[in-house]
Amino acid sequence: MTSSAEIIEKLRLKLPLAVTLHDPLSGGPFTVTRDNVLALLVVDTDNIVLELQTTAVLYGEMARVHAAAKARLDETDLHLRRWKAQRAQELRSAREKQTTTDAKGVEKPAKPPTGDEVKEHYRTHRDYETMYAAQHHAAMLYALSEDLKRAFELKARALRDLAAIDFGHTRAESNVDRLVEMSSESEQRAHALMAEAGEALHGNKPRRRARPVQEKKA
């Protein structure tokens, strides 16, 4: 059977993970560092019991990362919306100070900016790429952590099926061995009983006595 190390080497599985997030419960920072997350998803069929014990822990760790990544995504979304709102307000305030002159030469306040004008204003701002990059990175981290958590869940299901097959096979082999043992014991007892019965029959069998010959009367 192919080992987990051989599978990793053959498929060239490599996904390092190094991220610092805020714990969703305590709020404090925590760091997760894994040289190769994908290697943790490969089932080591030679150590099913150990895999059963560690997979639940790894799932819990990834669930923590997933929750923290969701909190970061919500935070960056909020910051980006606030930043866009500030840029929109800047444009509206500047437009309110402007005036236009119609065909008759009458000066009027400038029209408020349209939605497209607002988008153009904040998209051309010098900080737009930085703000958008932070939100985009948070979204990718959240999506990745969600998929990894799902992957550990799939591994747990596979382990459950493998364990049922492995333990069932072990129990079946044990039962077969016990049946063979019981059959051998029964056969030995049967031979012993047959031997005892034979000896008893041979020892208690009455011997025939010779009858005296009677003389015939003349």
pLDDT, one tens digit per residue, over 151-160 is: 999 999 888 8
Tell whether 190 is covered by a domain: no
| pLDDT above 50 for 172 | no
Q: Are 78 and 164 in contact (CB under 8 A)?
A: no
Give per-residue burial for 21-51: e unless 16+ CB within 10 Å, then b: beebeeeeeeebebeebbebbbeeeeebeeb
- Burial group, residue 124, by CB count within 10 angstroms (0-12, 13-18, 19+): exposed
Tell whether 205 is covered by a domain: no
pTM here?
A: 0.66
* pLDDT per residue as tens digits for the range 22-51: 998 888 999 999 999 988 988 888 888 888
Tell whether 39 is covered by a domain: yes
Per-residue pLDDT, averaged over 201-214, amounts to: 55
Per-residue pLDDT, averaged over 174-202, amounts to: 60
> How many structural domains comprise the chain?
1
Using pLDDT thresholds of 50, 70 and 90, give the confidence band for residue 175. Answer: very low
The residue ranking higher by pLDDT, 125 or 53, is 125
What torsion, rounded to 10 degrees, do the Cα atoms 123, 127, 130, 135 define? -60
Tell whether 15 is covered by a domain: yes
- In this prediction, residue 48 carries a pLDDT of 84
Tell whether 154 is covered by a domain: yes
Tell whether 126 is covered by a domain: yes
Q: Are 101 and 107 in contact (CB under 8 A)?
A: yes
Tell whether 193 is covered by a domain: no
Task: Give the range of the structural domain holding residue 84, as residue numbers without chain letter.
Answer: 4-180
Amino acid found at 66? H
Tell whether 33 is covered by a domain: yes
* pLDDT per residue as tens digits for the range 65-93: 999 999 999 999 999 999 999 999 999 99
Question: What's the chain's average pLDDT?
Answer: 81
